[in-house]
Amino acid sequence: MRTSVQELIAKSKDKKSKKIIEKLIPILLFLIASVSVLTTIGIVLTLIIETVTFFTRVPLSDFILGTTWLPFANSGAQFGIWPLIVGTLKITGIAIIVAVPIGISAAIYLSEYASDNVRRIVKPVLEVLAGVPTIVYGFFALTFVTPVLQSFFPEIKIFNAISPGIVVGIMIIPMIASLSEDAMSSVPKSIRDGALAMGSTKFEVAWKITVPAALSGIIASVVLGLSRAIGETMIVSLAAGSTPKFDGDFTGSIQTMTAYIVQVSKGDAGYGTTIYYSIYAVGFTLFLFTMAMNILAGYMSKRFREEY
Amino acid sequence: MRYIEQEKVVRRMNGRMVVNRIFQGLFMFATALALLALVILLYRIVSQGAGHLSLDFLTNFASRFPEQAGIKAALVGSIWLMAVVAPTSILLGVGSAIYLEEYAKKGRITTFIQMNISNLAGVPSVVFGLLGLTIFVRAMALGNSILAAGFTMSLLILPVIIVAAQEAIRSVPGELRDASYGMGATKWQTIVRIILPAAIPGILTGSILALSRAIGETAPLIVVGIPVIIQFLPEGVMDTFTALPMQIYDWSSRPQAEFQTVAAAGIIVLMVVLLFMNSIAVFIRNKFDKSY
């Protein structure tokens, strides 16, 4: 039996199921796309609801103003967030000191000096560095960087802020380098050529033309690196210890916000205890910090972008 | 009057060239330092852990005795975890990307969803753990199961997959679309028969890279409450399990020095798995990389 093309077309137009599919698919896909929005809502609601429960037991002012974090005390447990924030800032500070000079230098080298061949090798290697799981970095900090530091500075303890700080820095180097390099590569070649034709050296081009033109992207990459360092969990859980401290000591055990959450989750803090709710309050604080950083990074790269 | 004084230029030029050389050296040194960190890291781990690697290590369960400790439960657990994460995250990610690229009208809602996705990508993984603990473990009563951990991980890598899939879909040229519509195909037919096949290499590459991030993540698993010492293999998605990074974390945090060797051996296994996944991604990218 032969059917003409017209008949086939007429037949397929009659099919109701096809029309229904065409109507249903967009709705279904919209529902799928809303999962990411629901995730955000879920995170915010979860954190807020459990944090509010926490604040019915511990006054908000104690949490925000307190400088003692003693959640496991049998009587008179204290929940002042500052020691955890200070711990987090110690790690982040060292990480930035390590990562910013190296990351930006690597970006300048790759975008201004390196030949295509060098770039083709170095960039994938940096990607590998970015893909190393954080637990591996944690192991590296604990079993290699700390002993090496101890052999130079005997006063450094097994758990300290310096070693995990350095390793968190190494972890965020690829991120700062590749985002900064992207920003520098987007500076038009004609501007560089103009400066070179005027007799500038490559360094002068990099320092006076490329870096200023790409500054918004470079700053955004640093802020994103900061946000990553604040949220980093496994390196500090393994190598920084678990002593919340409100002081300026870097050589001994400290505790960050993330490490506290891990410490409680690992133990058997029963559901419904104040300690259980405290991880949400700490998580919420952490969320606010990283959110502020991410928004700042987005704002920086939009607000100060130079259009060519 | 001369605008350029020859001698002055010559004199200063040398200095400027020296400065240029010095900084070139510094920038190169910094780059080398980053690469050196990777070399030291890999060398340390291989030299520490290689001695403990054996077939027994892959087929033994965890043990109190370092020489008998094996990684079987963790390896199988990680594979189970991927069996949940891969379909869930790829389905959600590709679906979202199709909606955003093909159906969504440019407007406030689309901008909002897009902004939300990029913000979600910046949320620390430990916070995703808290979400999983509240929603999946407690509210949906999934307990410390593969499913609860898998859903948590899926949400964690969802933004990465969405962005990769969007880029892949966007790179399919408009002429292919127009040709399909011109032949009388409906929108959905065009998506399924023309756009997705053309975008699949990009989607797969991005997804595999995202999955390899999920396989190395530890913090959400700890917060969700995944146990470490498991002496049996899971038989279904509702069973509890342990995973490679959890097992490595446990071994690394033990005080006995012998367990550091075991941890290093575990890291080698994890890195080999990651290397394997990454080479698949690179292979797909090279094999199916069509330029239109």
| Per-residue pLDDT reduced to its tens digit, A133-149 | 999 999 999 999 999 99
Instruction: Give the pair of three-digit tokens for residue A24.
Output: 């249903």
Which of A202, A266, A290 comes nearest B20 by C-beta? A202
Angstroms from B238 CA to nearest CA on chain A: 21
d(CA B69, CA B58) in angstroms, rounded, equals: 9
Cα gap B280→A107, rounded to integer Å: 28
- How far apart, in whole angstroms, are the C-alpha atoms of residue A308 and residue A136? 42
Comparing CA positions, the residue from B257, B271, B272, B230 lying closest to residue B72 is B230
In B, minimum Cα distance to A159 occurs at: B253
The tens digit of pLDDT for each residue in B256-291 reads: 888 899 999 999 999 999 999 988 888 888 877 665
Q: Do B20 and A42 touch (CB under 8 A)?
A: no
Single out the residue of A137, A262, A177, A215 nearest to residue B263, CA to CA. Answer: A137
The Cα A279–Cα A289 span in angstroms is 15
Task: Return the biggest CA–CA distance within chain A.
Answer: 92
What chain B residue is nearest to A173 in terms of C-alpha separation?
B34
- pLDDT on residue B43: 94
- Virtual CA dihedral for B212, B216, B220, B223, nearest 10 degrees? 160
Which residues are CB-contacts of A117 (< 8 A; sequence separation ≥ 6)? none
- Determine whether the interchain pair B38/A132 forms a contact, defined as Cβ–Cβ distance below 8 Å: yes
Helices B196-216 and A116-131, interaxial angle, to 10°?
A: 60
Of B24, B29, B263, the CB nearest to A139: B263
Among A170, A231, A287, the residue with its CB nearest the CB of B37 is: A170
Burial code (b: 16+ CB inside 10 Å, e: under 16) for A240-267 equals: bbbebbbeeebbbbbbbbbbbbbbbbbe
pLDDT for position B148: 94
Q: Which residue has the tokens 């030291």?
A: B40
H helix or E strand, kind and range, residue A172: helix A162-185
Q: How confident is the model at residue A307, as a pLDDT?
A: 62
Measure in Å the smallest separation between the Cα of A41 and chain B Cα atoms. 10
The mean pLDDT value of chain B amounts to 90
Asked if B126 lies within 8 A of A283 by C-beta distance, the reply is yes
Q: Are A265 and B222 in contact (CB under 8 A)?
A: yes
User: How many CB atoms neighbour CB A102 within 10 A?
Assistant: 24
The reply to whether ipTM tops 0.85 is yes
* Helix (H/G/I), strand (E/B), else coil: A78: strand
pLDDT (tens digit, 9 = 90+) per residue, A169-200?
Answer: 999 999 999 999 999 998 998 999 999 998 89
Q: B165-175: per-residue pLDDT in tens?
A: 999 999 999 89
Helices A82-108 & A274-303 angle (0-180, nearest 10): 30
pLDDT value at position B56?
83
Chain B residues whose CB is inside 8 A of the A47 CB are: 127, 130
The residue ranges of DSSP E strands in A144-243, in sequence order, are: none
pLDDT at A49: 94
**Would you state the pLDDT for residue A21?**
82
State the smallest CA–CA distance between residue B291 and chain A in angstroms: 20
Residues of chain B with pLDDT under 70: 1-2, 289-292
Among A34, A262, A283, beta carbon nearest to B127: A283
Reported in sequence order, the residue ranges of A160-225 that DSSP labels E, i.e. its strands, are none
Contact status, residue A257 vs residue A286, Cβ threshold 8 Å: yes
- Are the beta carbons of B134 and A50 separated by less than 8 Å? yes
Nearest residue of A to residue B282, measured between CA atoms: A124
Its pTM stands at 0.91
Nearest to A102 among B30, B119, B270 (CB): B30
Q: Give the DSSP H/E element, type plus range, for residue A69.
A: strand A69-70
Q: What are the per-10-residue average pLDDT scores of chain A (308 residues)?
A: 70 70 89 94 95 92 89 84 95 96 96 91 87 94 94 92 96 94 90 90 92 91 94 94 89 94 84 89 95 88 67
